[in-house]
Amino acid sequence: MPTETFFRLTQPKQERIMNAVKDEITRSSYENFSIGNVVKQCGISRGSFYQYFRSKDDIFLYLLEEYRTDIENYAQKRISENGGDFFDMMEKTFRFATRMLCYRDSKDFRQHLFFNEQMLRLITLQGDYITEDEKFFDIEKIKKFINLNLLTFHDEEDLEKLFNICMITALRDLAGIFIADNKEQHVIDNFLLKLEFLRKAYEIAG
């Protein structure tokens, strides 16, 4: 994430730096990302840049945060309006996230932002081994809205385990957008097959 120094910059200067960052991500993969190209384009020194971002990981995390915030906000709105239906929230939020990852920003930018070592770590590790800072979605923001009476268990620990399974499954299917160039409906269909299996196991029949 950016340092406090970055946020004290004027809005035009912040935008100039971030536009240069996005241009470089569009051109280059995570591994080939060049801070030198960024500082040259936005007209600042390398030393100044490191006052704003400690590393390229901070840059990628900051941009990923924009996507994560939109997804979390959508999920929270959905679960607060659907009577606490966990599986409905997971389905609708996945559809929202898939549309976003298929169409927001340029294809090259999305490819390079999401298909990198850091993101692959999140989609290949089990939930129990992901740190709080690495979680792409925080269940604490929606937990109070989830109606446990609709599920076959009433323990919050079991809810977190189910949530982690859903999130790992979702991230792996979303990765197909970048790894295999899967289309929107194909990605959604893959996820819904697995979600339906979990729904039958853990949702009380209505």
What is the token pair recorded at 122? 């999140």
**The Cα angle at residue 89 between residues 85 and 94, in degrees rounded to 5:** 155
pLDDT by position in tens, the chain (length 206): 899 999 999 999 999 999 999 999 999 988 899 999 999 999 999 999 999 999 988 898 888 888 888 999 999 999 999 999 999 999 999 999 999 988 888 888 888 888 766 666 655 554 444 455 555 677 888 999 999 999 999 999 999 999 989 988 998 898 888 877 888 999 999 999 999 999 999 999 76
| Beta carbons of 136 and 68 less than 8 angstroms apart | yes
Helix (H, G, I), strand (E, B) or coil at 159: helix
Distance, in Å, from the CA atom of 206 to the CA atom of 199, rounded to the nearest integer, reads: 12
Distance, in Å, from the CA atom of 170 to the CA atom of 73, rounded to the nearest integer, reads: 17
Distance, in Å, from the CA atom of 141 to the CA atom of 145, rounded to the nearest integer, reads: 9
Q: At what angle do helices 56-81 and 107-114 cross, to 10 degrees?
A: 100
What is the token pair recorded at 139? 């269940």
pLDDT more than 70, % of the chain: 89
- At the topology level, CATH places domain 4-54 in Arc Repressor Mutant, subunit A (1.10.10)
pLDDT at 128: 47
Q: Using alpha carbons only, how large is the chain's radius of gyration in Å?
A: 19
**The Cα angle at residue 58 between residues 56 and 61, in degrees rounded to 5:** 110
Q: Where are the domains of the chain?
A: 4-54, 60-202
